[in-house]
Structure 1
Amino acid sequence: MKPWRWLHGLLGLTLAGLLAWGGWVEYRELSELAPVNPAEVVDEVVAQLQQRALNAAKVDWPQARRTALETASSGRRRDLDLALDRLVRGLEDGHSFYLPVRSAVPMLASSASAEPQPLARLEAPVRGVSRLAVDAFSSLDAEQVRKAAAALRALALTLRRDATCGWLLDLTRNRGGNMFPMLQGLSPWLPEGDWLQFEDASGARVSLRRGADGIWLGAQRVSEPVADDAWPQGLPPRRVAVLLGAETASSGEMVALAFKALPHVLFFGRATAGLTSGNELLPLRNGGLIAMTTTRAVDRAGHVHHGSIAPDQAFGDDEAAALAAAAWVVQGCSPGG
């Protein structure tokens, strides 16, 4: 079976960060297969990890395979799960993980009838500056993703229209998940061109970019073009103060990097969690799933990230960071600001 598409922004066991464009029926059928040969599953996983995992070169694969085969030799599902979990943990990248079928199937179950999962909210202004908080988002359902992105985009457009100086983008509680509705929703604040790139172990890169024809991840379009997303001609960019914290992780960090190195953006707060890497999801014939870290994030300035994102102005207290960020935004309205 072919591996899943490029999928980025998974954070540990928050279980999200996937492109939610179908695949439900295919995966349900996969998860209902009769018991498989554990050795075949182990060999499949070893081959995929050895070929594409970011830290593959750091693992003794013959020894790792022997240990996994020994653990899984009983034929019991729980022992196969244990063997696969240990194989993935052996990468020691802090971001890869294995999900047994009991966790994978509920995660991928379609939830179109459920209440839309909240993604963003307006918080109380700070010194008169609007504050938009974008939090973690775990839904994988296409309709949920669409609704969340549309709601965030509406907020971003409203602030772009009404704010005089700029805004605060609060990512302090964004622990990750599906980065695509986050970035689709914030697209009215982002320019055309590369937002960030993902670099694999060989040095090959794929870009997440916005063009006149939509948002693209490499050769795959992940969002159709929207006419009023583009920044109006003649309107100067507003300042964006991005608030970061220790809980800003994975997809939250990807959102921050999409804004990094823009001339009208500064980061305030604390260093982030340091999961600045991209995961690819691999469905297995036993019904389990592996989220395999395959890339590192590269910002628009060309800097490859290997850990935490440092703020431009560091503060140990979130409120102090917000006050300083608001003061900087207001300064942009003053003469020469």
Structure 2
Amino acid sequence: MMKHIIITLLGTICTIAVFSQVRNGGFEDLQKNQPSAWFIQPQSGYTSSVDSMVRYSGARSFSISNATEKSAFQSFSQTVPLNIAGTKKIVIRAVLKTSGVAANASIWCQVWNDTKQIDFSNLAMQGQVLNGTNDWKEYSVSFIVQPDAKRLVLGGLLSGTGTVWFDDFSVTQVNFPSTPAEEPAAGFIEEVKKVIRKNALYSDSLNWKQIDETIGVISGGMKTSSDAKPVISYLVGQLRKAGDNHSFHMSVTASKNYTQPAKKLEDATSSLLPGNIGYISVPGFGSTNDSAMTVFAQKIQDLVRELDSKNKISGWIVDLRKNTGGNMYPMIAGLGPFLNKGYLGYFVRGRHKNPWSISGKGNKAWSGSAVVPAAYRLRNTSGKTAVLVGPSTASSGEFTTISFIGQSNTRLFGQPTAGYTTANSMFPLSDGSTLLLATTYAADRKKHNHIGPIIPDILVEQLKDKDADVEAATNWILEK
């Protein structure tokens, strides 16, 4: 089968043209048995190769397989230069086939100016989750770009077990129709603009006159709320350029799932370490459902109770290194045995400081709307607590970390956190989707502001052959 040729169609509603070529987009050219022009990031447990037996077109495709590794991902990429005049929509396309993909397969793309990344997306972020077994199908991600966009870094990935095949990568440019947006798209766009302008932490940093002019161009021909997704992506991109790396748009499906009882979320885990040190690992938690919050928070306290009631604990390690965020309140409620009741930190905007806290009465404890019906109190409340953090500690994981700052006999160990120390507020939209906007930044209980990564008290050099964070925390706990 011949490789697909993208043809410029003149006189259609939207003009589409190839404007920056993806080199070796069909993986036909090889160099040392690997596809030329592509950078392949090795990952333990994954194998990648060109495949002449399974392909969509031409003689080859590119495949990634993984039979064992469940947590990491394998990616590949190349850089494509841009030369943009005016405001354009660019679309990155590829044809994918999957077999037994447990987590997800995706194409992805970063947009860069001269010095930094200014936009990013993948299939999941644009409402397309690809897993399981699927025959060849074209998938795409799109961006609104302006002349400051100088290059794309694009590619594909496999996360978790399974196999994915990639073929026929391309980049196209779409010119916008000159006809104005119709209802209900026009009204939905105004709704989104008003929410962002009124509530976003970085709203005052935006050039709203220029934004309105750009939206007038990119919304041309839009008719439905679904058509208006590129406008939302553009507005979130403008917040990114202003310094907001946290706000995002949640799809209708994701918004529904976020408020439903969780089908399967990662649980907290525990163990007894040498020296009678209690170890609790708390992952991220992505739900606002009341029953799910209670189950998650109570599970953490039950793990603490199990260790503390059966052992003479010399100190505690709370591991937040894999806590990528979500909803902070069940995390904090679950970790209540290690925290003094009262204010733990503040949401800050301008001169206004709004506290978050943990409270309790009788057997019950709560933080925000997360409730622990059978709360536990440590037998030794004066022992040491080491909190482990790192670059994957993000968003609500960082707010949970901040809740420990200023707590007596507590230190942070590890590496700097991800730096998403703004609080996102949820704003439901009329189409059923949700805007999550950074509306405040964080301060600890002593009202010290935290903007950007949290630097641990003890920076620990990372080692390949052992967990240096746990070792450093253990030494501190056991020292006399």
The aligned residue for residue 190 of structure 1 is 339
**Quick check: 1:118 aligned with 2:263?**
no
Q: Say whether the 8 Å CA contact 2:332–2:358 is kept in structure 1.
A: no
CA displacement, residues 151-192 of structure 1 (integer Å, 9 cap, x when unaligned): 111112334443432111111111111212111111121111
Identity %: 27
Q: TM-score, normalised by structure 1?
A: 0.78
What is the root-mean-square deviation of aligned Cα atoms in Å? 2.6
| Higher fraction of helix | 1
Q: Say whether the 8 Å CA contact 2:384–2:477 is kept in structure 1.
A: yes
For 1:118 and 1:156, locate their aligned partners in 2 and report how far apart those are by CA, in whole Å. 17
2:358 maps to which of 203, 207, 210: 210
- 1:225–1:288 distance in 2 versus 1, CA, 3 Å: closer
Mapping of 1:1-337 within 5 angstroms? 37-77=184-224, 78-92=226-240, 93-105=244-256, 107-108=257-258, 110-111=260-261, 114=263, 117-123=265-271, 125-161=273-309, 162-200=311-349, 202-213=350-361, 214-215=365-366, 217=368, 222-224=369-371, 228-229=375-376, 235-317=380-462, 319-331=467-479, 334=480
Q: Say whether the 8 Å CA contact 2:184–2:223 is kept in structure 1.
A: no
1:46 CA displacement: 1.7
Larger mean CA deviation between 45-54 and 190-199 belongs to 45-54
For 2:183 and 2:344, locate their aligned partners in 1 and report how far apart those are by CA, in whole Å. 42
For 1:290 and 1:209, locate their aligned partners in 2 and report how far apart those are by CA, in whole Å. 25
- 1:139–1:109 distance in 2 versus 1, CA, 3 Å: closer
CA displacement, residues 186-217 of structure 1 (integer Å, 9 cap, x when unaligned): 112111110111012x3212111123455454
- 1:329–1:72 distance in 2 versus 1, CA, 3 Å: same
For 1:284 and 1:158, locate their aligned partners in 2 and report how far apart those are by CA, in whole Å. 43
- 1:69–1:131 distance in 2 versus 1, CA, 3 Å: same
What amino acid sits opposite 2:232 in the alignment? L
1:76 CA displacement: 4.3
1:142 CA displacement: 2.4
What amino acid sits opposite 1:133 in the alignment? S
For 1:120 and 1:108, locate their aligned partners in 2 and report how far apart those are by CA, in whole Å. 19
For 1:41 and 1:268, locate their aligned partners in 2 and report how far apart those are by CA, in whole Å. 46
1:138 CA displacement: 1.9
| Higher fraction of strand | 2
- 1:62–1:286 distance in 2 versus 1, CA, 3 Å: farther
Gaps of 5+ in 2: 1-120, 126-181
What amino acid sits opposite 1:199 in the alignment? V
For 2:434 and 2:374, locate their aligned partners in 1 and report how far apart those are by CA, in whole Å. 38
- 1:69–1:316 distance in 2 versus 1, CA, 3 Å: farther
What amino acid sits opposite 1:75 in the alignment? M
The aligned residue for residue 28 of structure 1 is none
1:123 CA displacement: 4.0
Q: Say whether the 8 Å CA contact 1:68–1:84 is kept in structure 2.
A: no
What amino acid sits opposite 1:158 in the alignment? E
For 2:183 and 2:336, locate their aligned partners in 1 and report how far apart those are by CA, in whole Å. 44
- 1:36–1:109 distance in 2 versus 1, CA, 3 Å: farther
What amino acid sits opposite 1:84 in the alignment? I
What amino acid sits opposite 1:40 in the alignment? G
1:143 CA displacement: 1.8
CA displacement, residues 133-156 of structure 1 (integer Å, 9 cap, x when unaligned): 111122343222211111111112
1:278 CA displacement: 0.3
What amino acid sits opposite 2:245 in the alignment? G
Q: Say whether the 8 Å CA contact 1:208–1:215 is kept in structure 2.
A: no
For 1:99 and 1:269, locate their aligned partners in 2 and report how far apart those are by CA, in whole Å. 31
**What SS does structure 2 have at the residue aligned with 1:246?**
coil
- 1:119–1:153 distance in 2 versus 1, CA, 3 Å: same
For 2:373 and 2:414, locate their aligned partners in 1 and report how far apart those are by CA, in whole Å. 32
What amino acid sits opposite 1:155 in the alignment? L
1:70 CA displacement: 2.9
Larger mean CA deviation between 53-62 and 132-141 belongs to 132-141
Q: Say whether the 8 Å CA contact 1:39–1:69 is kept in structure 2.
A: no
1:291 CA displacement: 0.6
For 2:301 and 2:394, locate their aligned partners in 1 and report how far apart those are by CA, in whole Å. 22
1:54 CA displacement: 0.8
Matched length: 292
Q: Say whether the 8 Å CA contact 2:366–2:372 is kept in structure 1.
A: yes
Q: TM-score, normalised by structure 2?
A: 0.56
Larger mean CA deviation between 280-289 and 266-275 belongs to 280-289
**What SS does structure 1 have at the residue aligned with 2:343?**
strand
The aligned residue for residue 29 of structure 1 is none
1:119 CA displacement: 2.6
- Rg larger in structure: 2
Larger mean CA deviation between 165-174 and 57-66 belongs to 57-66
1:38 CA displacement: 1.9
What amino acid sits opposite 1:98 in the alignment? H
1:263 CA displacement: 2.1
**What SS does structure 2 have at the residue aligned with 1:80?**
helix
